[in-house]
Amino acid sequence: MIPFNKPYLTGKEVHYIYDAVHTGKLSGNGIYTQKCQKWFEQTYGFGKCLLTTSCTDALEMAAILIDIQQGDEVILPSYTFVSTANAFVLRGAKLVFADSRKDHPGIDEASIEGLITSKTKAIIPVHYAGVACDMDAIMEIANRHKLFVIEDAAQAIDSYFTGKDGIRKPLGSIGHLAAFSFHETKNIISGEGGMLVINDNQFAKRAEIIWEKGTNRSSFFRGEVDKYGWVDVGSSFLPSEIISAFLYAQLENIEIIQNKRKEIWNKYLDGLADWARKNDVMLPSIPVFASNNAHMFYVTCQNFEQRGRMIEKFRANGISAVFHYLSLHQSAYYCDKHEGRILRESDRYSDCLLRLPMYFELPSQDQNKIIQVLLNEK
Ligand SMILES: *Cc1c(COP(=O)(O)O)cnc(C)c1O
């Protein structure tokens, strides 16, 4: 069976874990946590970075930080993972779902302004497949209406947005806050893991307190206060040093990982371009302002039936190809709270998008076989 995903180990993970174990400091915010955080701040010019136990946690921290209250509204794409939504629902927010772009599952920036009301507090763009949303348009709308922007950059490590000013910015550096994931299905992994990026400095101090269970423990360890105590709400958001040690080994090898993934991604694109044109299947399109971090390779079929046939055919050939999100506005949990607006593109991606196996160690002959299955599908 060719799996859909296979976590890649660089070989250094166990070595750093051994080192972390040997130093005897196993809880969070130790040497490896700080090494990782510094790596992100220096490599991408992010504001303050805090490792978390997941991207889900980082999004929950973001919702606390922008002080979401009962009845506040947040605008997010319907075509996303449940965590993008749950973080805000947990604090009483009402979700206002936006549609996806025609050429890409990312949020349709042109539809956002019409969804803003006096209760809107934030916009949550999701960089689907690591491909940037139109951050110029989104930041401009947010600034004009005084809204916060929280980037769900779970899939977007080492990917970029080039603005109208020609400046190329890493995803996760643009919104007031951003959340990354190191879940084993992402490009850079630690099993479970995530990170909150705080680009708007007004949130930096409070973020650290929320991160440390509502205490000013971080200030205490820096010698800024002589005892620490309970000063705000918070939770247990820190990963252990064992997780951070694992993550650091991955970060050291990011270039190798990214180059290999891009090679695989481009081979799919080259191998399938003619076939896609003839069969009216959409291959991933990268908007001019976005880069490709090769997080995912997907095809968008003509309809639900065609996708079903392809999944069947893959299965018969021992290949695991999988669909992705079901529109959240159609979900069992939220459909009766959504106000009936039709989100055509989101539903189309729910019905028609199919993801192909994509991982560092995908053997070339296996990839040839995957491509051949599609070429045989008329
Ligand atoms: C993976 C993912 C998440 C959740 O990440 P975890 O680290 O598993 O919590 C959130 N949003 C998007 C878009 C994702 O792809």
Give per-residue pLDDT as tens, 139-179.
Answer: 999 999 999 999 999 999 999 999 999 999 999 999 999 99
* CATH code of 336's domain: 3.90.1150.10
Atom of ligand 1 nearest to the CA of 80: 13
Considering the domain architecture, whether residues 340 and 261 belong to the same structural domain is answered as yes
Q: 229 CA distance to ligand 1 centroid (A)?
A: 32
Residue with tokens 């005892």: 227
Residue 11 structure tokens: 């070989």
Q: 153 CA distance to ligand 1 centroid (A)?
A: 8
Over the stretch 289-301, which tens digit does the pLDDT of each residue have? 999 999 999 999 9
Residue 241 structure tokens: 């040093």
Atom 1 of ligand 1, nearest CA residue: 154
Considering the domain architecture, whether residues 267 and 247 belong to the same structural domain is answered as no
Residue 7 falls within a domain, yes or no? no
Q: Which residues pair with 148 in a beta bridge?
A: 122
Cβ(306) – ligand 1 distance below 6 Å: no
Cβ(155) – ligand 1 distance below 6 Å: yes
Considering the domain architecture, whether residues 104 and 146 belong to the same structural domain is answered as yes
Residue 139 falls within a domain, yes or no? yes
Residue 348 falls within a domain, yes or no? yes
Residue 19 falls within a domain, yes or no? yes
Residue 2 falls within a domain, yes or no? no
Q: 22 CA distance to ligand 1 centroid (A)?
A: 31
Over the stretch 52-98, which tens digit does the pLDDT of each residue have? 999 999 999 999 999 999 999 999 999 999 999 999 999 999 999 99
Q: Which of 214, 231, 251 is the last residue of a domain?
A: 251
The answer for 92, left when phi > 0, alpha when psi is -120 to 50, beta otherwise, is left
- Of 110, 84, 87, nearest in space to 99 by CA: 110
Q: Where are the alpha helices (DSSP H) in the chain?
A: 13-23, 31-44, 55-65, 82-89, 135-145, 204-211, 217-221, 241-252, 254-279, 304-316, 344-352, 364-375
Considering the domain architecture, whether residues 225 and 164 belong to the same structural domain is answered as yes
Question: Which DSSP state fits 122?
Answer: E
* Whole-structure pTM value: 0.98
Q: Which of 200, 220, 251 is the last residue of a domain?
A: 251
Where in the sequence is the domain holding 370, given as residue range(s)?
254-375
Measured between alpha carbons, how far is residue 202 from residues 198, 215, 263, 304 in Å?
9, 18, 41, 46
Residue 1 falls within a domain, yes or no? no
Return d(Cα 143, Cα 140) in angstroms, integer: 5
The pLDDT score that the predictor gives to residue 103 is 97
Q: Which of 236, 251, 266 is the last residue of a domain?
A: 251
Residue 327 falls within a domain, yes or no? yes
Atom 14 of ligand 1, nearest CA residue: 154
Overall number of domains in the chain: 2
Residue 137 has pLDDT above 70, yes or no: yes
Considering the domain architecture, whether residues 197 and 80 belong to the same structural domain is answered as yes
Considering the domain architecture, whether residues 271 and 188 belong to the same structural domain is answered as no
Instruction: For a ligand 1 pocket test, name from 5, 56, 76, 79 the mutation site with the most ligand atoms within 8 angstroms of its C-beta.
Output: 56
Instruction: For a ligand 1 pocket test, name from 55, 188, 195, 358 the mutation site with the most ligand atoms within 8 angstroms of its C-beta.
Output: 55
Is 121 in contact with 93 (CB distance < 8 Å)? yes
Helices 344-352 and 304-316 meet at what angle, rounded to 10? 20
Contacts for 53 with CB less than 8 Å, ≥ 6 apart: 192, 193, 194, 236, 237, 238, 239, 243
SS3 assignment, position 229: coil
Atom 8 of ligand 1, nearest CA residue: 183
Q: 221 CA distance to ligand 1 centroid (A)?
A: 31
Considering the domain architecture, whether residues 273 and 191 belong to the same structural domain is answered as no
Measured over all CA atoms, what is the biggest interatomic distance in the chain, rounded to whole angstroms? 72
